[in-house]
């Protein structure tokens, strides 16, 4: 009888031990399988985007996990290389300029090549997108624009990457990609939940985007689904649709708009050797060739135009006069819709928060403003800056183009207040900012996010289980292991004592 009693305890102990070992084995198996998926998930893919802007070019390297979330990559910026030399729109004019620019491209692409693992070179897609500078060149000299792109395609296709294309993107695309960048970096499109899965933020609101480049400016913001028209684009990101209003104004980038202002100033003067520019500070003078203003596609050549004519400008330091001439380059009267921005372009009312970057940010920074402000403070800062004389401003060493900041301040204020219709209440929603999460804001990241929809994931396997299921099994087997250990302890106590 005693032997049977001992045998019963031994069987129970053996059974409990078997259950304990099974639970531990299952726990380890689940963890190993999920870790294997995690390893596959975080094997990296790479993409390269070259932003060929109107002033200069930048090479961006992006990376994302091999497994995408809802058909879109979780993309981060790894490298930003500024290309030495001129904008690509200046190529095919002077051989020295072209060679310097190409040398800048080679230098950046060498850095990128060394950064990407060699095993990933063949699968890394490479894009070049040219913006407003090339859009203007296409209008002026389509053959030269094509020659520039042909040369760049030949060079980029010789690299050890999967070269896709070198093309000129539209202003509308540039605005949309900028909007995607802003909202991605702000966490409005996708976030990680408590199960470490990527989901759409609960009750998330998107942020409007405003970009000011050298040759164009873009505004983009999400609107109601029922709004339709040429400036409304529907885009799907991370499995969710958005309706985005976006418009690009060619010739209204900071540099080209500056030429429009100088054109007005020259027209108002009778003496090309003594032209008063109210936007230049008092005590400042400079000479410019007529070609630097009137060879642009944005300005009109005057009668008896001589490209080599020397125009001499003297600073007027007149804030009111500068504001008046800046307003004269806009058409605020023509509108066939319920509401327009300027030049007859329909625009719905601006709503929600906006992030203003690139030229907007640098202009605000020159006025010692960044982040948010109110409309009156911004306007007062512009006026105060315009009243500073050249001796005071010139004492600020290493400040580039400081003589243009009065014009730039009036231009940004007029564009936002009179153009986009920001008022006392909505101006407070504008955040002048250049970086989010240490990433420069621009269209190229949004472009890479959009292009990642077309890049097939290298991971073909379906994950063995979702994060909630994985967490549930871990909890179950952990509880089972603890309970089994307690039973073993109880049986041991009863058997031995």
Residues noted as catalytic: 174
The Cβ of residue 118 has, within 10 Å, a number of other Cβ atoms equal to 9
Of the candidates 400, 390, 327, the residue with the CA atom closest to the CA atom of residue 366: 400
Tokens at 178, concatenated: 């900028």
Spell out where 290-383 has E strands: 310-315, 354-358
CA pair distance 244, 227, nearest whole angstrom: 9
The Cβ of residue 227 has, within 10 Å, a number of other Cβ atoms equal to 12
The DSSP letter of residue 427 is G
Length in residues, the chain: 497
Of the candidates 123, 62, 163, the residue with the CA atom closest to the CA atom of residue 457: 123
Tokens at 414, concatenated: 């007029």
Helices 132-140, 142-157: axis angle to 10 degrees equals 130
Q: How far is CA 139 from CA 30, 55, 124, 150, in A?
A: 61, 17, 33, 17
| Residue 215 among known ligand-binding residues | yes
Residues 256 and 215 sit within 8 Å (Cβ to Cβ): yes
| Residue 216 among known ligand-binding residues | yes
Q: Which residue has the tokens 């003067």?
A: 269
Would you state the torsion angle of the CA atoms of residues 342, 348, 353, 357, taken in this order, to the nearest 10 degrees? -30
- Beta bridge partners, 240, equal 237
Residues 314 and 308 sit within 8 Å (Cβ to Cβ): no
| Residue 286 among known ligand-binding residues | no
Of the candidates 246, 383, 394, the residue with the CA atom closest to the CA atom of residue 318: 383
The binding site consists of 214-218
The binding site for ATP consists of 214-218
């Amino acid at each position: 009888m005693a032997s049977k009693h001992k045998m019963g305890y031994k069987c129970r102990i053996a059974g409990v031990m078997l259950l304990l070992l099974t639970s531990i084995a299952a726990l380890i198996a689940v963890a190993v399988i999920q870790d294997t998926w995690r390893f596959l998930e975080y094997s990296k893919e790479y993409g390269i985007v070259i932003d060929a802007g109107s002033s200069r070019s930048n090479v961006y390297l992006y990376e994302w996990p091999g497994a995408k979330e809802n058909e879109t990559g979780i993309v981060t910026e790894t490298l930003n290389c500024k290309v030495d030399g001129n904008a690509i729109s200046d190529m095919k004019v002077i051989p020295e300029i072209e060679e310097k620019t190409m040398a800048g491209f080679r230098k950046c692409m060498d850095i990128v090549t060394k950064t990407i693992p060699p095993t990933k070179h063949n699968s890394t897609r490479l894009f070049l997108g040219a913006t407003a500078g090339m859009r203007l060149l296409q209008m002026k000299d389509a053959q030269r624009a094509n020659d520039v792109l042909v040369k760049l395609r030949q060079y980029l296709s010789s690299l050890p990457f999967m070269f896709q294309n070198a093309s000129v993107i539209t202003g509308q695309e540039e605005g949309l990609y900028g909007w995607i960048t802003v909202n991605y970096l702000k966490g409005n499109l996708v976030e990680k939940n408590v199960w470490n899965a990527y989901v759409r933020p609960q009750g998330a609101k998107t942020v409007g985007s405003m970009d000011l480049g050298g040759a164009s400016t873009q505004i983009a913001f999400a609107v109601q689904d029922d709004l339709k028209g040429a400036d409304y684009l529907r885009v799907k990101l991370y499995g969710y649709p958005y309706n985005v209003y976006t418009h690009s104004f060619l010739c209204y980038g900071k540099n080209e708009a500056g030429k429009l202002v100088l054109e007005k100033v020259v027209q108002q003067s009778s003496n090309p050797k003594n032209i008063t520019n109210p936007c230049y500070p008092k005590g400042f003078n400079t000479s410019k060739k007529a070609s630097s203003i009137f060879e642009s596609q944005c300005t009109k050549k005057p009668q008896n135009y001589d490209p080599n004519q020397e125009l001499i400008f003297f600073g007027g330091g007149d804030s009111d006069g500068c504001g008046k001439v800046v307003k004269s380059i806009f058409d605020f009267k023509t509108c066939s819709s319920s509401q327009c921005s300027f030049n007859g372009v329909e625009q719905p009312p601006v709503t929600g928060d906006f992030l203003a970057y690139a030229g907007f940010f640098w202009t605000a920074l020159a006025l010692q403003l960044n982040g948010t402000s109110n409309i009156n403070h911004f306007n007062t800062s512009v006026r105060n800056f315009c009243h500073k004389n050249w001796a005071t401003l010139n004492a600020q060493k290493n400040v580039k183009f400081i003589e243009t900041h009065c014009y730039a301040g009036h231009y940004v204020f007029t564009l936002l207040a009179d153009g986009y219709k920001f008022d006392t209440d909505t101006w407070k929603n504008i955040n002048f900012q250049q970086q989010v999460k240490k990433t420069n804001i621009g269209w190229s990241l949004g472009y890479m996010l959009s292009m990642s929809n077309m890049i097939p994931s290298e991971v073909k396997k379906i994950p063995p289980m979702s994060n909630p299921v994985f967490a549930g099994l871990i909890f179950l087997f952990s509880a089972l292991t603890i309970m089994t250990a307690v039973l073993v302890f109880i049986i041991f106590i009863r058997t031995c004592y």
